[in-house]
């Protein structure tokens, strides 16, 4: 029985997308020794792909900032985003993130009246003064995320009186602000022009977007934050078994 014919363009698009996915996973998992990708010819044979498909897949990875291609030199991995465990990202476990030594670039540290929807999220009356603490998180000297935190009083005063020289959770700990529950809602957004400039990206580049809510140990909301994260500098890892999250 003849195989049903398909539009060649569709078929080729699928091949490119699948090849891109496999190469993307492989390079992020350090499966190419010394971050050097095989030649186009070797990739064609290893992945059963045409030269055109290999080139298109590599072009996609290049546009994501994951690889660089230099004539005569080859194709090299340019990004190595650490995998951050979710419990560490949420701030309940100390991990490698605490090793951050580059101080954040603080953009704003001002007191603003909470608009009604933010007030609802923070559990305060509309118009209540809250601290807006906004910064660019730096990883090894490079901007990795923009975070806008809205913090209620009295925790806000304690944060203001404390030197912010490392990670956000370090600031909280240094200020004696104890975290009760931490929640992430994770999605993604296109970078607006301002965020793109702060993070050294082109406008429209995809960013991980996190809405974080932190309570004190009594369940009172003390911080609502909006994070915009470069995916080539940060990835979240989460795992579970039938017994629950690990």
- In this chain, which stretch among 68-76, 106-114, 153-161, 168-176 interacts with a second copy, using CB under 8 A? 106-114
What are the two backbone dihedrals, phi and then psi, of residue 83, each rounded to the nearest 5 degrees? Answer: -90, 115
Q: Under the criterion CB under 8 A, does residue 235 sit at the interface with a second copy? A: yes
Per-residue contact track with a second copy, 11 to 50, x per CB under 8 A?
Answer: --xx-xxx-xxxxxxx-xx-xx-------------xxx--
Query: Cα torsion for 141, 145, 146, 152, to the nearest 10°?
Result: -110
Q: Under the criterion CB under 8 A, does residue 83 sit at the interface with a second copy? A: yes
The first and second tokens of residue 30, run together, are: 């350090």
Using the minimum distance from each CB to a second copy, give the nearer residue, 101 or 246.
Answer: 246
Closest separation in Å from C-beta 50 to a second copy = 14
Distance CA 51, CA 40 (A): 7
Instruction: Detail the DSSP E strand segments found in 12-128.
Output: 36-37, 67-70, 74-77, 83-85, 105-113
Angle in degrees, CA 146, 142, 144, rounded to 5: 30
Q: Which of residues 193-212 bind a second copy (CB under 8 A)?
A: 193-195, 204-209, 211
Q: Which of residues 142-161 bind a second copy (CB under 8 A)?
A: 148
Per-residue contact track with a second copy, 45 to 74, x per CB under 8 A?
Answer: -xxx-----------x--xx----------
Closest separation in Å from C-beta 62 to a second copy = 12
Which H/E stretch holds residue 245?
Answer: strand 244-245
Q: Under the criterion CB under 8 A, does residue 176 sit at the interface with a second copy? A: no
- In this chain, which stretch among 68-76, 98-106, 152-160, 174-182 interacts with a second copy, using CB under 8 A? 174-182
Q: Which residue has the tokens 């971050």?
A: 35
Distance CA 32, CA 17 (A): 19
Strand order in the sheet with 74-77: 36-37, 74-77, 67-70
Q: Do 47 and 86 touch, CB atoms closer than 8 A?
A: no
Which of 105, 190, 200, 220 touches a second copy by CB under 8 A?
190
Q: Which of residues 107-136 bind a second copy (CB under 8 A)?
A: 107-108, 112-113, 115-118, 120-121, 132, 134
Q: Under the criterion CB under 8 A, does residue 86 sit at the interface with a second copy? A: yes
**How does strand 74-77 pair with strand 67-70?**
antiparallel
């Amino acid at each position: 029985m003849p195989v049903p014919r398909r539009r060649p363009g569709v078929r080729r698009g699928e091949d490119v997308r699948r090849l891109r996915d496999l190469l993307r996973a492989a390079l992020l998992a350090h499966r190419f020794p010394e971050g050097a990708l095989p030649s186009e010819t070797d990739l064609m044979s290893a992945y059963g792909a045409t030269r055109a498909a290999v080139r298109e897949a590599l072009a996609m990875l290049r546009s994501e900032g994951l690889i660089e291609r230099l004539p005569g030199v080859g194709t090299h991995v340019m990004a190595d985003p650490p995998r951050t465990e979710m419990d560490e990202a949420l701030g309940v476990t100390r991990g490698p993130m605490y090793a951050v030594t580059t101080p954040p670039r603080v953009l704003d540290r001002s007191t603003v009246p909470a608009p009604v929807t933010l007030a609802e999220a923070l559990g305060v009356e509309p118009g209540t003064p809250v601290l807006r603490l906004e910064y660019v998180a730096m990883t090894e000297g490079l901007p990795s995320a923009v975070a806008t935190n809205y913090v209620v009083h009295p925790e806000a005063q304690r944060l203001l009186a404390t030197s912010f020289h490392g990670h956000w959770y370090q600031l909280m700990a240094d200020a004696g602000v104890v975290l009760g529950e931490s929640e992430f809602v994770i999605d993604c957004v296109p970078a607006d022009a301002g965020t793109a400039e702060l993070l050294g990206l082109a406008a429209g580049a995809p960013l991980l977007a996190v809405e974080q809510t932190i309570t004190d140990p009594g369940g009172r909301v003390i911080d609502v934050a909006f994070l915009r994260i470069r995916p080539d500098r940060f990835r979240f890892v989460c795992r579970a078994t039938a017994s629950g999250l690990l």
